[in-house]
Amino acid sequence: MHVQPLGDRVVVKPKPKEEKTKGGVILPDTATKERPMQGEVIAVGPGRRTDDGKLIPVSVEVGQQVLFAKYSGTEFKIDDEEYLILQERDLLGIIQEA
């Protein structure tokens, strides 16, 4: 069982907060700034449909590690695993090794 996102949404498996490994992306907890989070893209929607009927595909792919604003998206659980469903505009960047 899985969730196939609609429109330009993506399903992300968020990285647990405890997992702040050495050299990794550490996300500061400040009052003046939104705190972003990190996660792996699990499923990608077909994209955004424009008024001309054109489909603008989503610019991330399954398996990529993404950075996203903390309070964006909607949480859900499958088999006790937590997921997030987000719109493409809530994704800030792709985390790349080296």
Could you say whether residue 32 binds its own copies (CB under 8 A)?
A: yes
Question: Among residues 10, 77, 9, which one has the least CA distance to residue 48?
Answer: 9
Specify the residue, 17 or 49, whose C-beta has the smaller distance to its own copies.
49
With b for 16 or more beta-carbon neighbours within 10 A and e for fewer, the 41-63 pattern comes to bbbbbebbeeeeeeeeebebeee
Instruction: List residues near its own copies by CB under 8 A.
Output: 1-7, 9, 11, 23-28, 30, 32-36, 43, 45-46, 49-54, 56, 59-60, 66-67, 69, 71, 73-80, 82, 85, 88-89, 91-98
